[in-house]
Amino acid sequence: MKLLLEHDKADLRFNEETNSIELIWKKYQDDATYRLMFTKGVEFLKEYGATGWLSDIRKEGIVGPATSAWMQKEILPKAISYGLKRVAIIMDADVFKEFYVKNIERNAAQGIMKYFDSVETAHKWLKSEQVN
């Protein structure tokens, strides 16, 4: 695991075993931090040739509609064009987060997102996809 960007609200890492960029939120995000982490994350995705993305959003907080729309219209299409094949989301039971991720999946990431309640199970899924 290689730390790519450390921020007080989140970390970006590259996981060689799963060929994935990992965005781990440590505290509630704000729009500027959210955009920074995803912009940098997609740059790293391209640089490292990663095909997977893992987001641990349990400490992310609520993402506003404008920021969510930016993710759907700009970030995900760019990441997919760079080779993104699968997205693992680690989340807890929260109606707002569920709405947020389901909305992104419906509008921009159909068929490539899967939800988990632990990083370990997400890693297993991302690794299993490497062999196919």
20-71 per-position pLDDT tens digit: 999 999 999 999 999 999 999 999 999 999 999 999 999 998 888 899 889 8
Cα–Cα distances (Å) from 95 to 10, 38, 42, 54, 76, in that order, read 22, 23, 27, 20, 22
DSSP 73: I
Cβ count within 10 A of residue 60: 24
Distance CA(8)–CA(26), nearest Å, equals 7
pLDDT exceeds 70 at position 97: no
User: What torsion do the CA atoms of 53, 30, 120, 86 make, to the nearest 10 degrees?
Assistant: -20
- Report the predicted TM-score, pTM, of the whole model to 2 decimal places: 0.86
> What pLDDT was estimated at residue 91?
86
pLDDT exceeds 90 at position 107: no
> What pLDDT was estimated at residue 132?
43
- Give the residue with greater pLDDT, 92 vs 21: 21
Average pLDDT over residues 88-107: 70
